[in-house]
Structure 1
Amino acid sequence: MNILIIEDEERVLALIKRSLEEKGYTVTAAFDGYTGERLAISNTYDLIISDIILPQVNGLELCKSIRKLKPEVPIILLTALGTTDDKLEGFDAGADDYLVKPFDLRELHARITALLKRNGTKQAELPTVLKCEDLELNLKTKIITRGGKDIRLTPKELKLLEFMMQNPNRILGRNEIAEKVWDTYFDTGTNFIDVYINYLRKKIDKDFAVKLIHTQPGLGFIFRAAHEN
């Protein structure tokens, strides 16, 4: 994990840097806001720690600048200013956490661990593109293609496809599909889910040799390539 520390007090910076390196982190240091901003924007860091009162560019402006170009990177602000208004100003600038000096290094380590875990989990759970064979679903743009061909779906068909692509190679029962896609339960005696599955099949499977949606009699449906075991 790479961490950038921006702190003009050399003693404080050296203390934090040494403690993080002892924990196995790779640490880059900057002594002023301008250098810190340049490093943050031109390099990739897993987390940034910045003082607020800095030479050249203060921590709040630095935080705003980083947020515009790198909205996902966690930022912890350090400061001697600990009033509620000060903290709110820091959060409004885009900080993820706020630590008031003097602080215990164990608390800093705990905050870092929590932010890195949260950020890593969020990225793992939210891939940009879902893929299966030559089918692709872009979660940001909601564009669906198969074999390079654009596929248009209704909002419910899209939600159903997204759910199935996020849960490949396992049987999805009708009740689970109803709950996760329609936020309710349907009478399993009706064919409502089957109707939508057929709509989806016609659009993503009908014109392609490899079928992706399969019926498991008496159980539900499974999303996988036909040639997979």
Structure 2
Amino acid sequence: MNILIVEDDDRIADFLCRGLRAEGHHIQRAADGPGGLAMAREAARQAQADGTCTVLLLDLMLPGMGGLEICQALRAEQVDLPILMLTAQGALEDRVAGLRLGADDYLCKPFEFEELLARLEALARRGRVQRPRPASRLQVADLVLDLERMQASRAGRPLPLTARELALLELLMRAPGRLFSRERILASVWGTSEDPLTNVVDVYIRRLRARIEADGQRPLIHTVRGLGYRLEAPPAA
């Protein structure tokens, strides 16, 4: 098995590399977020070309780019490598955020090496099963999000959205009509390192509304006062 380790702590990375190599696995390691993302992309291309069984062992807190951002970026690009999040942040909201952004499993530090091996082997078996190809686009009414190009449009008109606005829009469009609390949006799009008292969610919702409801377009994002936001198609005339 080819195991990609993205871990900035040299002591932990050395322990993992030595232990996993002793088990007969091929190891690649990156020490920061951007390096880990590039390594995962290249390994995914290689795995697709030659069928190599590859698993990504991904730390949550990394310099340059966090593990949640890496996970989200890979899934947005339809990179289907099995991902095991490995982190000291074991709170429920941290685990849920990682899993919702595309991680396959979650293991908290400190951990037993035997359990790590068992989880990696389980992910490798799961990765051999042919998974259905995810949808390449989302649509609600005349709002369309192309997930391959990460480009949004309304009534055929391209919308100039930032990466964070696209991530927020994707979250809402994947579950039309579902009510998302500010806390859930914050954890899913920004990660749990963001101050829970920040108003960043409200700011980005306003910006997203201004983009998709410009030129008199009918509202799609709705506020439920005190509870959160939902995106849904307007009722049929």
User: TM-score if structure 2 supplies the norm length?
Assistant: 0.50
CA contact (8 A) 2:6 2:58 kept: yes
Q: Tell me if 1:93 matches 2:105.
A: no
Count of matched residue positions in the alignment of Structure 1 and Structure 2: 126
Q: Secondary structure at the match of 1:49?
A: strand
CA contact (8 A) 1:41 1:69 kept: no
2:9 alignment counterpart: 9
Distance between the aligned counterparts of 1:70 and 1:16, measured in 2? 27
Q: 1:70 to 1:127 in 2, by over 3 A?
A: closer
Distance between the aligned counterparts of 2:106 and 2:18, measured in 1? 21
Structure 2: which 5+ runs fail to align? 48-53, 136-237
Distance between the aligned counterparts of 1:5 and 1:43, measured in 2? 12
Deviation, structure 1 residue 29: 0.4
1:26 alignment counterpart: 26
Q: Tell me if 1:69 matches 2:69.
A: no
Deviation, structure 1 residue 127: 9.8
Distance between the aligned counterparts of 2:3 and 2:72, measured in 1? 18
Distance between the aligned counterparts of 1:118 and 1:71, measured in 2? 15
Deviation, structure 1 residue 34: 0.6
CA contact (8 A) 2:58 2:67 kept: yes
CA contact (8 A) 2:41 2:79 kept: no
Deviations 1:130-159 (A, max 9, x none): xxxxxxxxxx9xxxxxxxxxxxxxxxxxxx
The aligned runs of 1:208-223 (5 Å cut-off) are: none
Q: 2:56 aligns with which of 37, 45, 48?
A: 48
Q: Secondary structure at the match of 1:43?
A: helix
Deviations 1:56-87 (A, max 9, x none): 00000011111122442100011111111111
Q: 1:110 aligns with which of 88, 104, 118?
A: 118
RMSD: 1.9
Deviations 1:19-65 (A, max 9, x none): 11111110000000010011111233511001000000000001111
Distance between the aligned counterparts of 2:86 and 2:132, measured in 1? 31
2:215 alignment counterpart: none
Ranges of 4+ aligned residues in structure 1 off by more than 3 Å = none
State the identity as a percent.
40
Q: Which has the larger radius of gyration?
A: 1
2:217 alignment counterpart: none
Distance between the aligned counterparts of 1:71 and 1:103, measured in 2? 27
Q: Secondary structure at the match of 1:76?
A: strand
Deviations 1:158-200 (A, max 9, x none): xxxxxxxxxxxxxxxxxxxxxxxxxxxxxxxxxxxxxxxxxxx
Distance between the aligned counterparts of 2:126 and 2:87, measured in 1? 23
- Write the letter of the residue equivalent to 2:107: L
2:127 alignment counterpart: 119
CA contact (8 A) 1:41 1:70 kept: no
The aligned runs of 1:132-171 (5 Å cut-off) are: none
1:174 alignment counterpart: none
Structure 1: which 5+ runs fail to align? 129-139, 141-229
